Amino acid sequence: MAMPKPIRLLAAATMTLFLFLVIQIMRSPSNVKVPGLAGSKMEDMTRDPNLDETGEPPEPLRRVVGHNYDADNPNSDRINATLLSLVRNKELGQLVQSMQDLERTWNHKFNYPWTFINDEPFSEEFMRVTKANTAAACNYLLIPKEHWAIPSWINQDLMQESANILEEQDVQYAHMQSYHQMCRWNSGLFYKHPELLDTQYYWRVEPKVHFFCDVDYDVFRYMQDHNKTYGFTVNLYDSPQSIATLWPETIKFLAANNHLLAENNAMKWLTDKDRRPDHNHKANGYSTCHFWSNFEIADMNFWRSPAYEAYFEHLDRAGGFFYERWGDAPVHSIALGLFEDKSKIHWFKDIGYQHIPFFNCPNSAKCKGCIKGRFSDGESWLNKEDCRPNWFKYVGNEWAETDSVGGLAGAVAADSAT
């Protein structure tokens, strides 16, 4: 029994629209929705984009061809870059674990040199064991005393008093002076080490982290060829108590230096107050969203720029590395969000990574050992520390177009598995 032609057309059109809507709904993690009421949590990222099947970032990508990345090739295709690890002698075992993961997934192919750096001399054992875990060159640097020391303008009594207050507010490492020194050094001093002055890019590696995915292109060349300044894997909220005056000091700095703001900056990501109004309130106007800096692949020339230099100098004089517990992660992130074009900041979605308790675990056959789309394996409240939804909302998900729509089937399987 044939339907009249107009009805058939209408039926076909309805079916097409229906399928289109179904596909849109299934894909929706890439297109972040307008957030709901203040305080809403994950509603604005309905599905983790790490469930979408992920390949490599766009070409050009530089790969191993013949001997072009051999460790002993004096004319290799390596660029001006190093793996960089600030580490203590006693962390040797945990560092070797990180090294083995990174060597297995990436560096045994590209053989970038390792640079280990410490505020104390490295032990013979440290040097022997690290060398044994890579074919690449290893450099062992000692931090100049004046880079690590607590600056003369910091009042030690005030520092003690402040640490007591921070501790009452449950700020981690409040009384650990070396942690404050480490945060300051990672914020404004590491790239000033005399033996790093002729290096441009670094990949920061901490002890006890994991890498899960085979990466088959030169990530430093990727940064250079695609004009990227900074690459991250995890984007988090910070403890507002540790940085109460960081944003107010930033505003003071900007009052006199407004011209330093990048045209296409990420100010909205830095100042969001819709998702966690309480964080914004306690941090006096800063969302506390930051790139988790235990992983960073970046261009040191950004830190060496006059804009960042002036900003760090201002913060250093303000004293918050010691009277509060400003981390290098929020300091780096605020500077990038203000002074750099946001298109130069890259999400290394394809680099599977863990630093306890958070993950970046993509859906790819190249990855082993993590659960795709899982953000944390700790208590469930940790999931609300995820600030990626804000990044996608204000800056965008650069992978949304390249990630396979065919990942749909795989994503449905992953959803039903949980």
Ligand X SMILES: *[C@@H]1O[C@H](CO)[C@@H](O)[C@H](O)[C@H]1NC(C)=O
Ligand Y SMILES: Nc1nc2c(ncn2[C@@H]2O[C@H](COP(=O)(O)OP(=O)(O)O)[C@@H](O)[C@H]2O)c(=O)[nH]1
**Residues found near ligand X in the complex (CB under 6 A):** 80, 198-200, 226-227, 301
Rg of the chain over Cα atoms, rounded to whole angstroms, equals 23
Residue nearest to ligand X (CB): 80
> Considering beta carbons, is residue 40 or 80 the nearer one to ligand X?
80
CB 203 → Mg ion: shortest distance, Å? 15
148 binds, among ligand Y, Mg ion, ligand X, none (CB under 5 to 8 A by kind): none
226 binds, among ligand X, Mg ion, ligand Y, none (CB under 5 to 8 A by kind): ligand X
**How far is 315 from 251, CA to CA, in rounded Å?**
11
Looking from the CA of 353 toward its CB, the CA atoms found within 13 Å total: 25
- Among 53, 103, 249, 296, which one carries the catalytic annotation? 296
CB 108 → ligand Y: shortest distance, Å? 22
> Considering beta carbons, is residue 352 or 389 the nearer one to Mg ion?
352
> Considering beta carbons, is residue 182 or 387 the nearer one to ligand Y?
182
CB atoms within 10 A of CB 177: 14
161 in active site: no
**How far is 114 from 82, CA to CA, in rounded Å?**
6
CB 303 → ligand Y: shortest distance, Å? 17
> Considering beta carbons, is residue 184 or 228 the nearer one to ligand X?
228
Is 206 a residue that touches Mg ion (CB under 5 A)? Answer: yes
CA nearest to 350, candidates 379, 378, 372: 372
Tell me if 194 sits within 8 A of 144, measured CB to CB. Answer: yes
Beta bridge partners of 367: 213
CB atoms within 10 A of CB 113: 17
301 binds, among ligand Y, ligand X, Mg ion, none (CB under 5 to 8 A by kind): ligand X
Enumerate the H helices of 207-360 as residue ranges. 219-225, 246-257, 267-271, 277-282, 300-303, 306-318, 320-323, 328-339
CB 60 → ligand X: shortest distance, Å? 8
Cis, bond preceding 60 (omega within 30 deg of 0): yes
Query: Which residues have C-beta within 8 Å of that of residue 260, sequence separation ≥ 6?
Result: 254, 307, 310, 311, 338, 339
Stretch binding Mg ion (CB under 5 A), from 24-32, 59-67, 205-213, 249-257: 205-213
CB 355 → Mg ion: shortest distance, Å? 6
CB 376 → Mg ion: shortest distance, Å? 15
CB atoms within 10 A of CB 367: 21
> Considering beta carbons, is residue 208 or 226 the nearer one to ligand X?
226
Tell me if 410 sits within 8 A of 363, measured CB to CB. Answer: yes
- Binding region for ligand Y (CB under 6 A): 86-88, 91, 118-119, 178-179, 182, 206-207, 294
Stretch binding Mg ion (CB under 5 A), from 88-96, 172-180, 203-211, 405-413: 203-211
> Considering beta carbons, is residue 236 or 336 the nearer one to ligand X?
336
Report DSSP state, residue 367: B
**Chain positions contacting Mg ion, by CB under 5 A:** 206
Catalytic residues: 296
